[in-house]
A and B are shown apart, each in its own frame.
Chain A
């Protein structure tokens, strides 16, 4: 059953520029908060967003609705590009401590960073992730928003690797339930 998003991607694959504009207007405001949440800087986030939608335009013909919804297609791409950006900055500056700390603090419900970031964190926590118990929310924050690997998360939280993996799996199962409800 084709959705409006799928129709737009199909039209984009055929080279329809208006469809691209509509696709952007539909999804950019939904994806921008995620990118901003990850890269933290508005100008950087706008850059990343442009890369994401440019790739979507170029890759529209490779989209296969059997493999996922347009929402997952664009969100996963946006998250990957945003994390790329953060990792590149981390390599350049060798100081990734601050964003991770903020993510951890946000995950534990603490306060840090400027007021805008705090407001963002509260908004985020007030959405789907809010239903997760704190230990599960924390691992999702560190993996999905801060881009840490399971080993890095285990070290950071001083938890066994197996615990981290299990928490991620449980968190996703719980998120699945609530987002489908």
Chain B
């Protein structure tokens, strides 16, 4: 950029702390190299200070002064011990200010550092939550992989039935370890209803748990081990489930 004029406007907006986005990045890159802009920002701050101090003075609450004076007294005694840390802190602040447009930059960065510390804490918390969710997912997939590695495991396809003809499911089944049902394309159960899985050996179907699906029609369901199971079916049942199938069958294996 050959003209300096745009920076003069940015300097004014920066001085009232209203610069944001690309303008802020551009100006903060420019400011340390430009004595004219540093002077503009300084000058604008002096203007704002004069305008501010033209407001009628107003005494703050008296206890604020007492608390401060007390705090300043306490600190002085401890300063000898905390000296190194104190020196480091003021040193950092002084270094941030040196060569820039004065204390204002330091104040802005102090504020931003405080904000960053709060943001970091929030991110850390979110990461911890995500990690827990991922751990759970890993454990789940590890279970499925272990199941698949076992030669006794078989994969059974379930086809959509009736109104749910576009649904499909796959059961990873092991007589000794139980199974894992994966469902796709199944509409979420209407209010007051749930999906119930049935295992079929030789006699009547036995209830094998309730499950739901997400808005994309996907669901997973863990099933306990059971000997001699030959077929699987899913039906739509009243919430809470029933001991024997009563509603429409939506998925069934051959």
Contact B103 A64 (CB under 8 A): yes
A60 CB, nearest partner CB in chain B, Å: 9
A31 to B102, CA, bound (A): 20
Contact B90 A59 (CB under 8 A): yes
Interface size class of B (residues with CB under 8 A): 35 or more
- B29 interface residue (CB < 8 Å to A): no
Given known pairs A50-B68, A176-B43, the reply for A45 and B20 (CB within 8 Å) is no
Contact A169 B8 (CB under 8 A): yes
B243 CB, nearest partner CB in chain A, Å: 49
- Cβ contacts under 8 Å, A54 to chain B: 68, 71-72
Determine which residue in B17, B45, B52, B97 has the highest number of CB atoms from chain A within 10 A of its CB, and name it: B52
- Cβ contacts under 8 Å, B97 to chain A: 62, 64, 67
Contact A32 B59 (CB under 8 A): yes
Contact B64 A71 (CB under 8 A): no
- Cβ contacts under 8 Å, A89 to chain B: none
Given known pairs A147-B17, A165-B13, A175-B47, the reply for A62 and B57 (CB within 8 Å) is no
Interface-lining segment among B104-112, B218-226, B231-239: B104-112
Contact A50 B20 (CB under 8 A): no
- Cβ contacts under 8 Å, A33 to chain B: 55-58
Interface residues of B in 86-115 (CB under 8 A from A): 86, 89-90, 93-94, 97, 101-104, 106-108, 111, 114
Identify 7 new A-B residue pairs, CB closer than 8 A, beyond the known A67-B97, A80-B111, A150-B19.
A32-B59, A34-B55, A50-B68, A62-B94, A76-B48, A77-B107, A150-B13
Top 7 A-B pairs, shortest CB-CB distance:
A67-B102, A179-B50, A169-B12, A143-B18, A149-B20, A128-B51, A75-B49
- Some 25 contacts from A to B, beta carbons below 8 A apart, are A17-B69, A20-B68, A21-B69, A28-B65, A32-B60, A33-B55, A33-B57, A46-B60, A67-B97, A67-B101, A76-B48, A77-B103, A80-B108, A83-B17, A127-B55, A143-B16, A144-B17, A149-B18, A150-B13, A150-B18, A165-B10, A169-B8, A172-B15, A172-B47, A176-B47
Chain B residues packing against A (C-beta within 8 Å): 8-10, 12-13, 15-21, 23, 42-61, 63-65, 67-69, 71-73, 75-76, 79, 86, 89-90, 93-94, 97, 101-104, 106-108, 111, 114
